Structure 1
Amino acid sequence: MLQFESEQLGDLILQLQNEHFCGVASIETLSNVSTIKHPRILVFLDGEITYGGLSLPNPIELSKELGQHLKLDIMEAALQLAQKKVDDPTSVRKYLELFILLKLFDWKDVESYMRTQTTLVLEQIYPYAGRLTLKPSSTVYIAYGEDRHGFTWEQLQDDIVQRIQAWAELNPIIPSAHSIPYQLKTGQKVITDVWAQQHLPQWVNGQRTLDEIANQINIDPLELAKKYLGFVQNGWLTFEQDLFLSTTNKLEKKEETPKVSTVAPQDVSRQLPTILSVDDSPVVQAMIKRIVGDHYHLLLASNAMDALSLLNQAKIELLLLDVTMPDIDGLELCRTIRGINRFRDLPIIMLTAKDGVFSKIRGQIAGSTHYLTKPVERSKLLEILGKYIPSKVMS
């Protein structure tokens, strides 16, 4: 079993690619998001990914999905023929070869569909820490073209970045796939779209997230978000009450005051700006305290719930936010905070153990002001803090 931190899954995939791994990788994420609590699997052939999903591809189900995607009315009849002709009923490859021989579609059609599905799986699990279990196998579950190739990590990473940019274009109207849509009731405009008339009463109940709905109706969450964008513009939907509402409700139900760690109160005469540092690592928090303790009033929280509580109680002038969180991850918390009017201009510095353009793009889209890689150098941290809130230490 291999452990990985937030946004480090790509490093493991690249390692398996370089080792020409063949077999199945089962991935469990440390996330509280309901739609990704179940493990995902990736199928590898000679180091390239050929499939991503909840379970190994079933020839019948996969054929039906392809038929639906390609709008093939003849697929049911083709399946009946395939079940009689194919000598290995467990082989996805055999089924696809027969359908291609029948000219129902070609390898490019199959590859395009499966690349999108695999990218969607990786997009969902990439931001989180987790565990990866390998099961080597020589079985070829699925591959594409006469040369039996798959997808490289570089190809899939490019696809993920493009999807992230597409999500960014929907923000702030639709903050993320984990946002909750609400059907407007008071003063609601007449819904003229036939699909919306049927869909909204059945699926949009103020409890399901966008990606939960997308999974239920077997549609790409990004495509559903684009549909919903039109519904918002028509006055039929809103995403204004998202993750912060559910988090706030949880806070209100708590009878005990959240246990948070804070630095000893500062002398008021020093007029120190207040920084909130959110990180579940005591070692990191101690390091930050040593660096900034003489320059700023520092509050510490180890999770998102306590961080939100402190944001509501104290006047916070800058937030240091770790990407990897034990309950709500740092990216989700950042998006949540940005959705609150009085925190729209709050400087948010995200900290992560992973450096790279891909990580920074995710942080920027979530609403971060700046991005730093751990371990943070003392001079660099003070330089960035001074840029956004100059220290007011009196001599």
Structure 2
Amino acid sequence: MNLVRWPMVGVFYIYWFMGSLCFAQPDTISESDRANTFFDRVFDERVARYPERQTYLGIKDNYGDWNDSSDAMARQELEITKENLAWLNETIDYEKLDVQTKISYLMWVQRAEDQIRNFKYRNYNYPVNQMFGRHTGVPSFLINMHLAGDDSDAGNYVERLKGIGEVFDQLIDNLKMREKLGVLPPKFVFPRAIESSRNVITGAPFDDSAEDSALWEDFRSKLQKLDLGEPRKVQLQTEARDALVDLVKPAYERLIAFLQEQGSRATTDDGVWKFEDGDAFYNEALHLTTTTKLTAEEIHQIGLNEVKRIHNEMRSIMKTVEFEGDLQDFFEFMRTDEQFYYPNTEEGKEAYIKRAVEVIDDMKERLDTLFITKPEADLIVKRVEAFREKSAGT
């Protein structure tokens, strides 16, 4: 009897287990679907609030507008995040989510909590600095991201040119607000930022130069590729020229004048320690950018130890190559000897880009050995725009 009973019991448990799965599965899928619908909605709503983000994603809604970078907008974002986080916590049962959705849930919650916790530090940054910022980001965005495939796109390019004045007025307001909080870039930042800004409004139609400015060259080039009648092209070109001369140039001149004034008040202090509550801000930055719970002092000591190790390795290399001199001499040699650099000429720059493309192509051939899913978008190497070539970070 036992021989018969046990299989029957086994069959009963199998059916019970399968039945449990059948009853549980729809509930799990339903909760995961609800969560993923929420994530999609919140993402789409956020994108809809930022025209530049839409452009980056290939969406041409609000194609003639710029982001609102006011403090009021930042506060609105905070309230939206709080409301969304509250809804997620109150509505979604984490335990009923599938594995992938649990990961999405945890990542979304972490980002939301980070945003809320760090809102008080929203002004602890430099919107204009020696490597990047709104002053170079605006023209770079138009040149690289604003596609002009038809009449409407070209017209929206002109609208964005007309809106640069408001963008920079907001930027100046943000810089003033930061200065009141003691957040002021170090003195060395200002000459470079001012130079980059001047470069944007150098060339036609801003002056009598025979060479076109970067924005004027870009707009005319995109316009000429469109299948539009000549009268319409002339109209758009005239509107763009007027916007550049009457609105863009004065906007940059206002920004440059403000940067010159603010630069006169700047100091050589270049660490966040100079900010009020700078230590707490730095520790929070460590929390956001590392996965450890090490203190700032501990991480700094790791850095010192690594520098010491690298220096010792470099001393070994010096012996191997029979270099005569001390470590500082070796640094100077590596930094300045022409054999380590492409010449700073058009030919040298093209050679550098060619070599970079070769390295990337070599990498692409090896991707299948490491990855299953690969990006669809290609990785392209191109020169930085001339107006920010000297100050762009590498």
- The TM-score range, normalised by the shorter chain, is under 0.3
1 or 2, which has the higher helix percentage?
2
* TM norm structure 2: 0.21
Larger radius of gyration: 2
1 or 2, which has the higher strand percentage?
1
* TM norm structure 1: 0.21
